[in-house]
Amino acid sequence: MSKTAHSAIASLRHDAVNATGGHFTYQLKAALGGGLIDEIWNNTVLSLIGGSVVNADMVTGVRLVDKLQHKRTPHVRIEVWFSNMSNTEKVDQLQQSLEKCLRLH
């Protein structure tokens, strides 16, 4: 990651809109295979953009983290960042909707 991109990500963490938020982290094992991981990532992003996810307006960012070179547990991680952690009902709805998209339900 370039220094500029790293600085931009660090800045987003401290942005006022994210100050009261949180994030969900989903770890996908490498054994799922690249095709399925790509499909899950694409479905996640397109569902968020298209508004198919309940309370998608709370989402402030989404990130795909490649940890496939990790020696003990190679994986890919999807992070979904959101605002307003205190609205637990909306956060729960967002999580349930995301997990349907990720095929975790």
Average pLDDT value for residue range 40-59: 92
pTM of the model: 0.80
Mapping DSSP onto H, E and C, the string for the chain reads CCHHHHHHHHHHHCCHHHCCCEEEEEEEEHHHCHHHHHHHHHHHHHHHHHCCCCCHHHEEEEEEEEECCCCCCCEEEEEEEECCCCCHHHHHHHHHHHHHHCCCC
- pLDDT top residue among 94 and 104: 94
pLDDT tens-digit series, residues 60-74 = 999 999 999 888 899
Could you tell me the fold of the domain covering 3-101? Answer: RNA Cap, Translation Initiation Factor Eif4e (3.30.760)
**Which of the pair, 16 or 100, is modelled with greater confidence?**
100
- Give the integer Cα–Cα distance in Å for 53 and 1: 29
